[in-house]
Amino acid sequence: MSSFRIATVRGIPIKIHWTFFILPLFYGLSAGSTAGAVRGVVFILLLFACVVAHELGHSIAAQFYGIRVKEILLLPLGGLAQITRMPRRPIHEFFIAIAGPAVNILIVIILGLLVPSVLDLRRLSQQAVALAGVDLLRDLTIANLYLAVFNLLPAFPMDGGRVLRALLNMVLPLTTATSIASWVGRVFAIGFVMLGLATSSWTLTLIGMFIFFGAGAENSMVQQGARWQARTVADLMRPATSLHPFDLIGQIEPMVRASAQPVYPVIDGARLEGMVSREAVLQGLHYFGAGTPVQAITARAHYVHPDIPIDALYEILSMRHLPGVLVIDGKQLLVVVGVDDVLQVVNPA
Ligand SMILES: [Zn+2]
């Protein structure tokens, strides 16, 4: 188990990844004194409370639009609110993305009101400042300001990048908007890595690398999703040769071997008895011999309606390890669709 739950808010489990504990440990150990160590750990915990609040901002906005939030995961580099689906409209994505940084701005305002001296410490002695914990609050205020500004940089898939994508998506198709946002994100990412290397800031270097790969991954996910959504099973159907239960494996084997049809409906008169895969015919010949009827190797028929989307079909094929399915509209057997046809749509040559 690599992460564990610390709380549940509005039905959303808040989980901490084990690597998260490296951070307070690091700050505790790198401090010069015990008091410094305690302060460092307290600061990190308060900061992460703010990160949780940021993620809850995204989550509550998502729930407002009827999107389920699977969990909030806390990693050393920050939090991650995992929403279960894309927002339906660009304006929804805009508000979900901006809700996180907005929470940090709110925290800055509240801290500023609670401790008016937070941003003006010149009148207090250093000792008084430390005793009152004011310096801790000041650091927390600055950190929240930093969190809001950094997250709002248009470095997709960070919040600012999502805001950019949402704005572009108001006038452009999702695929184009995502392509542009992810290129902008990658330029920022390269900038972060170079700045991180130049200043020996490993955190910034690492964040830059995460953004670079994250932008690429999310872009290809959106492009692939669009390819899938545009097509239904009806686009992939091919005419099917059917078999009779009493056909002998030896008789049909040359035809099956020469054909690319992945599965065969087994039909007796008007009755669908089941289906046989190309693989099953070739193996049946090997194990049972040429004189065995097709009946002996017939399996249960798996069929789908021509209207189902390709991604749903892909799930059925991969979950049941099927080489293909029959397509049936009402009572009528139309054709078959194989896993290779589906894969060709997903990864066109
Ligand atoms: Zn965020």
Ligand 1 mean position, distance from CA 335 (Å): 47
Mean pLDDT (whole number) for 8-28: 78
Q: Do 138 and 186 fall into the same domain?
A: no
Cα(69)–Cα(166) distance, integer angstroms: 19
Q: What's the half-sphere exposure (Cβ side, CA atoms, 13 Å) at 277?
A: 15
For residue 290, give the 3-state DSSP assignment: coil
Ligand 1 mean position, distance from CA 164 (Å): 14
H/E element, 304: strand 303-304
pLDDT band at 349 (very low <50, low <70, confident <90, very high): very low
Per the prediction, the chain carries an average pLDDT of 83
Amino acid in the structure at residue 44: I
Q: Do 145 and 165 fall into the same domain?
A: no
Ligand 1 mean position, distance from CA 117 (Å): 28
Q: Do 126 and 197 fall into the same domain?
A: no
Ligand 1 mean position, distance from CA 255 (Å): 58
pLDDT band at 117 (very low <50, low <70, confident <90, very high): low
pLDDT for 28 beyond 80: no
CB 189 within 8 A of CB 163: no
Q: Do 16 and 109 fall into the same domain?
A: yes
Ligand 1 mean position, distance from CA 149 (Å): 11
Cα(164)–Cα(157) distance, integer angstroms: 10
Where among 152, 181, 197 does a domain terminate?
Answer: 152
Ligand 1 mean position, distance from CA 165 (Å): 14
Ligand 1 mean position, distance from CA 53 (Å): 10
Q: What is the percent of the chain where pLDDT is above 90?
A: 32
Ligand 1 mean position, distance from CA 14 (Å): 15
Q: What is the pLDDT of residue 122?
A: 56
Cα(204)–Cα(210) distance, integer angstroms: 10
Q: Do 16 and 136 fall into the same domain?
A: yes
Ligand 1 mean position, distance from CA 55 (Å): 6
Q: What is the pLDDT of residue 187?
A: 95
Its domain, for residue 274, covers 233-346
Cβ neighbours of residue 126 closer than 8 Å, sequence gap 6 or more: none
Q: Residues 82-106: pLDDT tens digits?
A: 887 778 889 999 999 999 999 999 9
Rama region for 232: left / alpha / beta (φ>0; ψ in -120 to 50; rest): beta
pLDDT band at 116 (very low <50, low <70, confident <90, very high): low
pLDDT band at 124 (very low <50, low <70, confident <90, very high): low
Q: Do 216 and 106 fall into the same domain?
A: no
Mean pLDDT (whole number) for 286-299: 91
> Domain tally for the chain?
3
CB 56 within 8 A of CB 69: no
Ligand 1 mean position, distance from CA 163 (Å): 11
Cα(257)–Cα(255) distance, integer angstroms: 5
pLDDT for 258 beyond 60: yes
Where among 195, 229, 263 does a domain terminate?
Answer: 229
Q: Residues 144-171: pLDDT tens digits?
A: 999 999 999 999 888 999 999 999 999 9
Q: What is the pLDDT of residue 164?
A: 95
Q: Do 285 and 162 fall into the same domain?
A: no
| β-bridge partners, 299 | 275
Ligand 1 mean position, distance from CA 79 (Å): 8
| β-bridge partners, 79 | 74
Ligand 1 mean position, distance from CA 177 (Å): 19
Q: Do 264 and 186 fall into the same domain?
A: no
Mean pLDDT (whole number) for 267-278: 87
Q: Do 14 and 144 fall into the same domain?
A: yes
Choose the weakest-confidence range: 26-30, 79-83, 291-295: 26-30
Q: Do 148 and 2 fall into the same domain?
A: yes
Q: What is the CATH number of the domain that holds 329?
A: 3.10.580.10
Ligand 1 mean position, distance from CA 9 (Å): 17
Ligand 1 mean position, distance from CA 62 (Å): 12
Mean pLDDT (whole number) for 3-30: 78
Q: What string of DSSP letters covers 305-346?
A: -TTSBHHHHHHHHHHTT-SEEEEEETTEEEEEEEHHHHHHHH
pLDDT for 293 beyond 90: yes
Where among 205, 229, 253 does a domain terminate?
Answer: 229
pLDDT higher for 56 or 239? 56
